[in-house]
Structures are given as C-alpha cells and as structure tokens.
Structure 1
Amino acid sequence: MNTEQPLALLGGLTPSQFMKRHWQKKPLLVRNAIPAFVPCVGRADLVALACEEGVESRLIVHSPNGWKMKHGPFTKRSLPPFSQKKWTFLVQGVDLHHDGVHALLQQFRFVPDARLDDVMISYATDGGGVGPHFDSYDVFLLQAHGQRRWRIGRNKDLTLQTGVPLKILKNFEAEDEFVLNPGDMLYLPPKYAHDGVAEGECMTWSIGFRAPQEGELARELLLGLADEAFDGLGNALYRDPKQVAVSSPAAIPPSLAGFARQVVDKALTNPQLLDSLLGEYLTEPKAHVWFESVEAVADLSGGVQLDRGTKMMYDDRHVFINGESFKVGRRDALVLRQLADVRCLTGQEFKTLSADAKESLVDWAASGWLQAK
C-alpha cells in the first residue's frame, strides 16, 4: 500500500498523515469515506450468520426493565420482531465468513496486521444500541445502512454502571454529536467514550484492532519459553561444593537463588526465540476459526491465495502462519513476505520458490490455509 497517497477513506488524508495526527490521539469524522456505499451483507445474511455454530454473536435488548443480553447462536424465532424498537444484534468476525467484507478489511492494512482484528457488524432497530461505553482498542465505525446518531466524549470518569450485563458508563458526558449516513465513517482512539443510537433501522460495520495486554503477552511468551527451556537448556544440576553447615536449615541458600536467576536469564538471552514466540502468538487463529483440510491439493503452479481465516506475518528471520514459524532462505523470504503482504502469489512468483518452500505451500494448502488461484 502506498502510505503517501491521499484516500477518500481517510477524508483526503494519506495513511501516513492519519497515523501521525489521529491514530491513538483524536477522533476523525469522514463524510463519504466510501461514496455510494452499498453493503454486501444485508439483514437476512446477518441473521443467517448469527444462527450459525462457531460464529460469535450477541443480542442486546433495552426495555423499561433495563438491559438484557444473550449470546448466540440464535434461531430466527428467538430474535425479537423487526418492528420492535430498541434492540440490536452484533456478529463478530464477519470478514472470516464473507469475501466482500474480507475485501473491505484490506483497505485498512496501512495499520500492521499484528494490530488488525476483525469486522463486527451490528444491526439495530429504531433506538437500538449498546449504551454509552468505551473500547480499549481503536475502532473505525462505518455506517452501512440507515442512520446512527453518535455522541462522543473524552470521559475521565470511566466508572461503569453496576447490575447490568454490559459495560455501560455511569456518568457519560458527550462533547460532540454526529449523525452518520451510509458511507460515512468515524474513527475513535482507545477509551474514547461513545454512544451510538439507531435512527430507524440501521447497520454499522466496526473495524476493530487489538492491543495485547501486558499480562496476557507475558504469559504466552513465558509459557513458550518454558517449553523451549525444558528441551533446550540442558540437564546441568545445581552444585554447591562450598556450601557450609547451617544452623537455619529452612533458609533458602543465596547460591540456589542465584542459580535460579541464571537459568531464567539464560532462557531469555535468545532474542530469536522471543521473536519466534511473538510471531507464533500473533498469528495464532482465534478459537472459533477452523480450516477445511483437503486430501488432494490442487495444482498451485498457477498461483495461490491465502484463506480468509489465515494470519500470516514475518520478521527479519522468520515467516509465521497460523501459529507456526519457519526460517527461510533469502530468496524464498522475499516471495513469502510478498504472500503475507498481498495475500496472494502469481504463478510466476510461485515458480521462483525453492523446492522446500513449494512443499511447505503444498502442506499449507492441504491444511486449508491457502488455495490455488
């Protein structure tokens, strides 16, 4: 992607300008971000997805008795009538199930794939919404159908209401207000409070991003280090030939504590191992994502394309795909990075790969991670 090309998607800003001025800093309202936008997913399509096993969905109803939330999958009969006001249902990860939504997500790849998450689509009847809240991640809110009124504000008080099934702000104060029409889009940085209410029937597409938490990331990396350390650090035993007789036998010897620190330091001194574990963590598919394996792989010589659900990234030394890491030679690395960036290879590009790399792609195709073009 040319990061210096002005985009209607960003209100005429280049991706570089947007990232410098707005990303994680301040909101951006873009009128006609996608001019004459016609959604490729309608209400019936969304209902069908919400009824499927393995698709994350939620139903939220706001009534005089308060807020109610249910998790899918649903049946069509379990949804309220569309004539009823103040309800909404949300379907997560629609890009994994629809080519058109997946294609739209690619327009936002001026942000690293390591941060890009998914497209959630919400349908709402008149007055429907999820209440004033904040997200811990960046989000683009693209209006797909109908109108939605957004009120936003930089709330310092992030206290939540108690006794409700949603994370609704107790003291929401709006600073700005916008009505979005189809094709309009609103970007909000993390923890920017917002409240969207449907004006008539509407659908909103939320392009969301992820930001690993310190504790979560540390746990995953340390678990990986523990597995590697068990196999790779050796069997050296602690030795204490200079240990003296003690009168306080329950005290842990300082030399043993030092030995423990040395073991951990040794496990942490391999930067390539940490890089590899990070790439595997970032490309690990979500729990509800699965791939259809094939017994007979089609001829890949005409080119390949990644499956919608495949996550593929790289660093200076590795290529990562769906939670696995590979070291590749320089020539192969250039082509496989191209596959990760563009999500497809031409037949000519495929032919330049080494025999080992071609064999890996055949294995990936057999696992359903990519297909012949």
Structure 2
Amino acid sequence: MYSLQPDALDAIRHHWQQRPLYIPAAFADFIDPLEPDELAGVALEETASSRVIIQQQGQWRAEPGPIEDFSRFGDQGWQLLVQAVNHFVPAAAELASAFRFLPDWRFDDLMVSFAAPGGGVGPHVDNYDVFIIQGQGRRRWQVGNRGPHRPRAGHSTMALVEDFDAIIDVEMAPGDLLYIPPGYPHCGQTLVPSLSYSVGFRAPSQQELISQLADCLQDQDLGKRRFISNSEPAQPQRISQAHQQGMAKLISQLVADTATLGPMLGTLLSQNRFELDLQPLQPPLSLSQLQHALQQGQHLQRVGGLKCLQLEGDDTSLFLDGQRWCLPNGLADAITDLARHHKLEFPMLTPLLSNPQSAAELLQWVNQGYWYLQDNH
C-alpha cells in the first residue's frame, strides 16, 4: 500500500493547480510496483499504448510501440513510455490510489517510463496536472514558469518547446515527488537507468463539453426547442443583438438544466482515454455461482482504471465506463460503496444481491470483466 507523507499531502493541497512543487521523500521507503522488464512486457499487451523517445544531439523523435527489441537503441539516449499501466498491474493501481484525495473523475492514468542515461522526452508543456514520482535510479528535472513558450523547431509532431529558465532544478531520488500544474514547461534528464511514474489528472475542455452535450441531446432526442422572436431587424442582412442573445439563451437554458447536464457529465467523465484490460468470463457466471463464491470468502476487485462515478444529489444513478445505470430506490448506501471502494466483500454487496434488478446488473458487470473475483489475502 502506498501513502503520501502527511506533510506532502498538505503541501500539495496548497499548491494544487497554482504552482509547481518539489517534495523530497514524499513516499517513505518507496518500492517500485514493477521492474523494467515487466514494463517492457506490459508494452507488448494488445491494448497497451506505448512509445520510445530517442534523443540524439538535441533532437528528439518518437517510435510507436509495441517494440520487442530495445538493444538497437543502445545504452543511452532513449526512454520507453507506457500509458495506463494501472490498467494492467495491480501494484501500479495501488500507487495511483495514493492520489484519491483528488476526485476520481479527474484521474487520467498512471504512465510509467524507463529511461537509459541521457533519455528524456524533451522540454514540453502539458495541458493537465501531473505528479512525477521517481522510482529506482536518478533523474534531473527542470520546471520553468508559465508564459508564452515557442514551439521547438523541427519537432512539430512532438509539441516540444524551446529551452526555458528553470524555477525548479532538482535531482530526484526514489520516493521524491514533483507536481506540475498545466502550462508550466518541464524537462527531465536521466542520470542513471531509471523508472519514473507520472500520475495525470485532466479536466474537460469547452470543446469536449459541448461535443458531449450535443451527443447526449441526439441520443436522447432532446434539445428540439427552436428560437422564436417577436421583432425582426430592419436590415435583412443583419443578425440583430436581440436575436444573438436569444439564441445564446437557448444554449444557456440547456446547460442550466441539471436533468440534461448531470447525466451528460457523468457519461463524459466516467469514460477512459485508454482501453481497459477487460477479461470477460467464458463461460459466464450464474448469479448463484457469484453468490456462492462471495459467501465462501472471495471478494470482487474492480478492474484497473475503471471509473465508477456518482452525481451529488442523485442516489440511484451510477456512471460506469461512459454508461449510465439507474438502479432501484433504497440502495443509496450500497451504490455509494460500489462507486467508492475498489474491493467489495460480501456484506457490502448483500443489498445489491437482494434486489433482482441490481443483482442482475452486478452479475452483468462481473461477466463483462469490470469486477473480478479474487481470494482474500
């Protein structure tokens, strides 16, 4: 189990989305959740997203995975990055859980990288919050200030920026933590072979929100109210201010309608950018088999990366992997347990299993691979 030191947690809360922060020994006695060869194995998974960044004479290029032979890259100047390792490695998911003092809907993924000396991805700016945890090895990290940063010439496909003046310049050792809010340029340089862990947190853009709202309106056959007016402009070529404001009001009324906005947000924010490592059961379990297994001491474990969200004020809806489920009344506490806890034991599941509708839906999720049976340790 991974946990941040209490003073590190307090410092992060004061810096969150405001300014970068370096915390030495944020994780005491840090142990890597996986080894470099295990990371290389995850990169070969069919649903994994990976790439290698090669740096030569101040130039960077990317080679997409999967990659089986790393010997051709030599012993320096390259870095393997694997996205969403928390989907594949339970210990990596436990490391990501150390950051659940932030809302689940913000969490994106845990990216793990292995870098040879001199390896790195180059100076760049992210549009999301990231916590970088140093594993085995040592890396030097530099962070610059917000501001206009010019794109780096010759790297149009990698979104690199020109060199910057550092406001943080540190050599990180195992267990050290670096927090970088959106918009701050940063660059890592590997000093000895190293593992690093990047825990990313995203928020939706205006484009994503409007696009999802349009999809929801179409799916539910809503939003058909049309603009009407009681006056027209004297000049036929003009769109009057009154007409502009009236159409803006139509849009704002949709956004203000919690019956439309809430389910749209739940659907959008429970989606994953990276594919889950689902293992559907074949043959599927029956309800009696599931109940028997739980009664015999097994528990349900949530698959890595699955987002299971609730809307405040809505006790019956559950948003799961981009889908909305409406469960029976009277199960508010059980639904909260399902969304909040990654490990579910039989007493917590009894209310859901006692209701035919919720029992059928729980069984469906288990057979689809969203939860899986595991022995208690």
TM-score by length of 1: 0.84
2:139 aligns to what SS in structure 1? strand
1:348 match: 347
1:114 aligns to what SS in structure 2? helix
| Equivalent residue letter for 1:296 | P
Q: 1:336 to 1:174 in 2, by over 3 A?
A: same
Identical amino acids, percent of aligned pairs = 28
CA contact (8 A) 1:9 1:30 kept: no
2:38 aligns to what SS in structure 1? helix
CA contact (8 A) 2:328 2:358 kept: no
1:300 match: 290
The residue correspondences of 1:152-171 to structure 2 (distance < 5 A) are 152-164=143-155, 165-171=157-163
CA contact (8 A) 2:3 2:98 kept: no
Q: Residue 132 of structure 2 is aligned with which of 133, 141, 145? A: 141
> In structure 2, how many angstroms separate the alpha carbons of the residues matched to 1:29 and 1:300?
46
Paired residues, number: 357
2:95 match: 104
Q: 1:251 to 1:25 in 2, by over 3 A?
A: closer
| Equivalent residue letter for 1:69 | A
1:9 match: 4
| Deviation at residue 172 of structure 1 after TM alignment | 0.9
TM-score by length of 2: 0.83
Q: Is residue 367 of structure 1 aligned with residue 368 of structure 2?
A: yes
2:201 match: 209
Q: 1:137 to 1:269 in 2, by over 3 A?
A: closer
> In structure 1, how many angstroms separate the alpha carbons of the residues matched to 2:163 and 2:130?
22
> In structure 1, how many angstroms separate the alpha carbons of the residues matched to 2:326 and 2:49?
34
Q: 1:288 to 1:61 in 2, by over 3 A?
A: same
| Equivalent residue letter for 1:9 | L
Q: Is residue 53 of structure 1 aligned with residue 46 of structure 2?
A: yes
2:189 match: 197
1:22 match: 15
The residue correspondences of 1:1-373 to structure 2 (distance < 5 A) are 9-10=4-5, 12-13=7-8, 15=9, 17-18=10-11, 20-64=13-57, 66-76=59-69, 79-81=72-74, 83=75, 85-164=76-155, 165-228=157-220, 230=221, 270-286=257-273, 288-294=275-281, 295-297=283-285, 299-301=289-291, 302=294, 303-315=299-311, 316-317=313-314, 318-353=317-352, 354-373=355-374
CA contact (8 A) 1:61 1:69 kept: yes
1:4 match: none
CA contact (8 A) 1:132 1:195 kept: yes
> In structure 2, how many angstroms separate the alpha carbons of the residues matched to 1:118 and 1:285?
9
2:290 aligns to what SS in structure 1? coil
| Deviation at residue 28 of structure 1 after TM alignment | 2.4
| Deviation at residue 307 of structure 1 after TM alignment | 1.4
After superposition, the CA RMSD in angstroms is 3.2
> In structure 2, how many angstroms separate the alpha carbons of the residues matched to 1:277 and 1:167?
31
5+ residue gaps in structure 2? none
5+ residue gaps in structure 1? 1-6, 243-247
